[in-house]
Structures are given as C-alpha cells and as structure tokens.
Amino acid sequence: GTSNQRSSASTAYYSRGDYIPGIWVDGMDVLAVREATRYAIDHCKAGKGPMVMETFTYRYSGHSMSDPGTSYRTRDEIQEVRQTRDPITSFKDRLLSSQLATADELKKMDAEIKAEVDEATKKAKSDR
C-alpha cells in the first residue's frame, strides 16, 4: 500500500478541513472514541457547525477478498497489534483491572450478545 507520507503533503488529516475544526482520536481506545464523539456532538449541537474527526485505527484484514493484507505488512505485525492494542480486549482488561466488572459478568455479557447476534442473523436469513 501507499504510505501516508507519500499520499499527502500533510498527514494530519483532521486539520485539513480548512475552516472546519477537527480532532484526532485513537480509534483503538474505546473510551477515547466515546469522549471524542461526545465532544464532537456537543460542538455540533451548540450550533458551531460540523467537525472532522480522524479516527486512527488498525485494519486486521485486507481491503477486499483479493487483498490478503499481508503483502504490505507481516503476519507478526498484525498479531502484535491484535495482542497489544485490540480495542475489545483492552477495554475488557480495563474493566477487570478497575473492578468495574468480573470475568463471570463479562462472560455472561458475551453469551447474551452472541445469542442476540445469532437471533438477528437467523431473522435476517428467514426474511428473504
């Protein structure tokens, strides 16, 4: 893939909206995204106009079925990001370390979510 530095003179994309303000947020941090989104919503609801929000994240797979995603990065890089910066596991770890939830509570939540997704999938397939 084309590096950011080669694709644009300025890689601070959130600042390129001319007269539209922008913010940058770590898209791999669930709480940072929540707070940045709240800030942007408050800005817009206050009648201050739109806001550009650049959300820096990591794509684990390629762009499409024809792009395996490993020609421009290694499997080790992908695995390292998944192990060290995955937003779901990082947030889970924060909940556990802050004692805001127990492992059993999170397992129960996971089961409830899986059941809801399975039910929605079943319904979507039956509506054809």
86 within some domain: no
> Residue 34 domain-assigned?
no
What's the alpha-carbon Rg for the chain, to the nearest Å?
A: 19
Please list, in sequence order, all residues whose beta carbon lies within 8 angstroms of the beta carbon of residue 12, skipping any fewer than 6 positions away. Answer: 24, 54
113 occurs within a structural domain: yes
- Look up the domain containing 110 and give its range: 98-128
Total of domains in the chain? 1
Residue 83 lies in a domain: no
Write the CB contacts of 72 (distance below 8 Å, at least 6 apart in sequence): 1
Question: pLDDT class for 71, splitting at 50, 70, 90?
Answer: confident
- Residue (of 80, 24, 85) closest to 56 by Cα position: 24
**pTM of the complete model:** 0.73
Q: Which two tokens stand for residue 31?
A: 């709480």
CA 122 to centroid of chain Cα atoms = 26
Residue 89 covered by a domain: no
Q: Is residue 115 part of a domain?
A: yes
Instruction: Identify whether 124 is part of a domain.
Output: yes
With respect to residue 55, please indicate whether it lies within any of the assigned structural domains: no
- CA dist 100 and 54 (Å) reads 29
Q: What is the pLDDT of residues 23-65, one digit of tens each?
A: 999 999 999 999 999 999 999 999 999 999 999 999 988 888 8
pLDDT in tens, 80-125: 999 999 999 999 999 999 999 999 999 999 999 999 999 999 999 9
